[in-house]
């Protein structure tokens, strides 16, 4: 998506440790015109695919998931992060490892909001090592629902998780795909 790529080149900052800082338009401060355009693009990509629900993990994916959900006219589910495990059986839950914070956390979603009749589109702001995405895929499977596909704002292709999931047959649409950002130079996949 050209508009997002141009914004990344104009305002993104590459920090040590392969961190791409996009606080001026994607988190901390959201450019709502770009956000709406991303929602429209995700809706276009998955038009006619029978999506019944969008799922994201709080908090950074909420804005994009809601923008897409409003365009597509489908509900958005927030999987929630918990430090403690829920054992009362009212939720689907799995464990996700965060490389950013170097800790494991439980990701849960209420059984009330997801079931085997659902066709789910997973949405998130970043795809790098794929831990959060794999956690959401596990929740979809636990519910017996169908995974229609994935929509990501920015994929760090060099981490490999996106391509590994594609090889397993998962449809992943990333609005900006960064092939490399060595020495601060951002190169998109063509």
Spatial contact of 130 and 98, defined as CB atoms under 8 Å apart: no
- What token pair was written down for 187? 């190169």
Which residue, 45 or 70, is less far from a copy of itself as judged by CB? 70
* Minimum separation from the CB atom of position 163 to a copy of itself (A): 30
Residue closer to a copy of itself by CB (options 98, 182) is 98
Q: Rounded to an integer, what distance in angstroms lies between the CA atom of residue 100 and that of residue 142? A: 26
Is the distance from CB of 15 to CB of 178 less than 8 angstroms? no
Describe the crossing of helices 2-11 and 32-45 by its angle, rounded to 10 degrees: 140
Min separation Cβ 31 and a copy of itself, Å? 6
CB of 187 to a copy of itself, least distance (A): 26
Q: At what angle do helices 62-72 and 32-45 cross, to 10 degrees?
A: 60
| Cα 15 to Cα 63: distance, rounded to the nearest angstrom | 24
Indicate the residue among 35 and 176 with the shorter CB distance to a copy of itself.
Answer: 35
Instruction: State which residue, 135 or 162, has the beta carbon closest to a copy of itself.
Output: 135
What are the distances in angstroms from CA 182 to CA 22, 79, 86, 175? 17, 33, 42, 20
The smaller minimum CB distance to a copy of itself, of residues 48 and 73, is found at 73
Kindly list the residues in this chain that would bind a copy of itself in the complex (CB under 8 A): 23-24, 27-33, 35-36, 58-59, 62-63, 66-67, 69-70, 72-78, 80, 109-110, 112-113
**Running DSSP on this structure, what letter comes out for residue 149?**
E
CB of 189 to a copy of itself, least distance (A): 28
CB of 169 to a copy of itself, least distance (A): 28
């Amino acid at each position: 998506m050209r508009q997002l790529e141009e914004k990344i080149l104009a305002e993104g900052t590459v920090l040590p440790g392969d961190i791409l800082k996009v606080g001026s338009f994607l988190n901390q401060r959201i450019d709502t015109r770009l956000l709406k355009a991303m929602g429209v693009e995700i809706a276009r990509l998955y038009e006619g695919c029978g999506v019944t629900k969008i799922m994201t993990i709080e908090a950074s994916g909420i804005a994009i998931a809601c923008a897409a959900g409003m365009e597509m006219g489908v509900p958005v589910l927030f999987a929630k992060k918990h430090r403690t495990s829920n054992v009362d059986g009212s939720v689907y839950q799995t464990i996700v490892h965060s490389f950013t914070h170097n800790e494991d956390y439980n990701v849960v979603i209420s059984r009330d909001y997801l079931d085997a009749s659902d066709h789910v589109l997973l949405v998130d702001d970043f795809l790098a090592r794929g831990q959060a995405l794999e956690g959401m895929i596990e929740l979809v499977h636990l519910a017996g629902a169908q995974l229609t596909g994935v929509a990501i704002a920015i994929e760090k292709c060099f981490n490999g998780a996106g391509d590994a999931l594609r090889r397993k047959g998962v449809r992943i649409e990333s609005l900006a795909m960064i092939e490399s950002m060595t020495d601060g130079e951002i190169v998109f996949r063509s």
